[in-house]
Amino acid sequence: MKTFILFFVLSIVAFADPRPTQEDFNACYEKNKDSIVSVNKHFGVAITKDLIAVPKNGEAPINNYVKFDPYLQLYLVRSDKTLSPASMADETNDERVKKSTWIGVLSDNNNSKMGHIKALGVNLGDFDTMSFEHNATDELNTACCKMLGITVGADKFIPNRYLKHFAAYDDVYYGDIGATFEPRDGKFYVQKVDPIGRAKALMVNDELVSINGVSPKSLREVNEMILFAPKGSKLNIVVKREGAQYFFEVPVSGNLKFSQSLEALIPDSQKLKNLNAMPENIELYGDDKILTDYGIRVNANLVVTHVTPDSNAQIFGIKVKDRILQVDKDMVKNRGELLQKIGEKQNFLLLFTRDDFEFFARVPK
């Protein structure tokens, strides 16, 4: 038994990251000290050649700044001098940065605190946490001298992914689609949908398959794909509903406007990815507001897949599996033809078929 315990302990030691020394973090301080900037007695870190991230504190006020983020309690200050920005680690890469990764606060007094990442924040405004406390604002580094974020007191720090997004726009902007998600049994499902939000075509309990071709591994990843989506972009969202998969192109809040050429700051994992090949069983939904307002959704073959309770469609008697044949006496064979025929019509007649029985329904705009 003792032999087994000894073997177990030695295995942990063998596979754990080696503990850095005080000298290692002293070297990191010397390497990165030029990225630490004082802004009117406030601690700041240069995150680009002319932008400084400055956590709010109780010292002298900062009057000249680009913006203030109330979620992060963070100022963005523009410098008229060329700065030496910190070299940032990509903490979204699980292979490079994980909970066993050693991290430490940079200090010039041979007293750097060190430990590990305890947890990554999940929702808007959540800070990442460390396995130790540090009640001051300082630059947080890996033992390889890559910046991970800025400590803000207790065991919390503002991570790089928020800092990069923070520097990308002149205003405080976070992506929003009007839907929230929740984890269940290792999968992710739509929890709530704003009925007038941008993702109103989603339904509660839809299973999330992918966003921009990526199948998320955590709720943090789901939320941050939305939070950090570029302004004016569209998210390619695939969900599973009643055994079938559906594709939605969901616009994100905000108009596209970068303050400068800072898109390179956004990690590849957060940039839009094109879906090169859409699976054949995925049904495409576009701008069909008039149909959803009426209370129905149809697939590519014009078969009704959903009828909204208490809608005009349900009151009239439309049912799932009814199929559309015509728009105002014009035959339509697929969803593209249907939307083209609807066009700018203010109201129109749809001819449905159900078990060889055909009937008309008028749809007002």
Q: Specify the CATH class of 17-167 in words.
A: mainly beta
Quick count: other Cβ atoms within 10 Å of Cβ 97?
A: 20
Helix, strand or coil, per DSSP, at residue 13? helix
Among candidates 283, 311, 276, which has minimal Cα distance to 296? 311
Q: Is the pTM of this model over 0.75?
A: no
Q: In a structure prediction context, what are the per-residue pLDDT tens digits for the chain, which is 365 residues long? A: 545 444 444 444 444 568 888 888 888 888 888 999 999 889 999 999 999 999 998 777 788 899 999 989 999 999 999 999 989 988 877 667 778 889 999 877 667 788 999 988 888 888 999 999 999 899 999 988 899 999 999 999 999 999 999 999 888 999 999 999 999 999 999 999 988 888 888 999 999 999 988 999 999 999 999 999 988 888 999 999 888 888 888 888 765 333 333 333 334 443 333 333 344 444 544 446 778 888 898 887 889 988 888 889 998 999 999 999 999 988 998 877 888 888 777 789 999 999 888 899 998 86
Among candidates 167, 173, 172, 168, which has minimal Cα distance to 46? 167
Superfamily of structural domain 179-284: PDZ domain (2.30.42.10)
Q: Does domain 288-364 have CATH number 2.30.42.10?
A: yes
Residues contacting 72, CB < 8 A, separation 6+: 55, 125, 158, 162, 166
Which residues make up the CATH 2.40.10.120 domain(s) of the chain? Answer: 17-167
Among candidates 162, 182, 168, 170, which has minimal Cα distance to 224? 162
Q: How far apart are CA 236 and CA 229, in angstroms?
A: 11
Among candidates 177, 184, 192, which has minimal Cα distance to 231? 177
Which residues make up the CATH 2.30.42.10 domain(s) of the chain? Answer: 179-284, 288-364
Which stretches of the chain are DSSP H helices?
2-15, 22-32, 160-167, 219-227, 289-294, 312-316, 335-342
